[in-house]
Amino acid sequence: MKYRNKSILLFVIIFILITISIGCNGSNPIIPGTIAPNPTVSPDNSTVSYVEVSASSSTIKINQSLQLVVKGYNSDDEWVILDKSRIKSWGWTVENQCYNCVKPYIDLSPKSGSLTTTFTSGKVGTFFIVAYYQENPGDEYITNYTEVKVTK
């Protein structure tokens, strides 16, 4: 009976240590301060003039995830409701490095149809994360980006 209790206790301790080590390796995303990308009510002028991509942190460590949010604004700088289906694409580029060399180490998900995306990099560098919003079919894309530095 004592042997069984020790085994259960040992299992619980190992489980806790594994959970803590996973959390310390940056597997939890950094969530922006404002989780809701849309206001509860759109102003009378709900035509999107520009969008802004933001994150709660501009620096993360390798293999740490960062959630990014896109918000829309009208010509009066009022926050408007965006239609997530009009986010045609999320993209990224890297400064002073070969894009194709870094590409296998980057995860950006989802890549479209969402007002938020999660970015993770297995490489150090300065990255630019961009959102492409299209108000109406045939319109030009409304874009914005934010800079994220990935360190060791």
Domain boundaries, the chain: 1-28, 31-151
CA 132 to chain centre: 14
Per residue of the chain (152 residues), give pLDDT as tens.
555 666 665 555 665 655 555 544 444 454 444 457 899 998 999 999 999 999 989 999 999 999 999 999 999 999 999 999 999 999 999 999 999 999 999 999 999 999 999 999 999 999 999 999 999 999 999 999 999 999 99
pTM for the predicted model, two decimal places:
0.75
CATH fold for the domain made of 31-151:
Immunoglobulin-like (2.60.40)
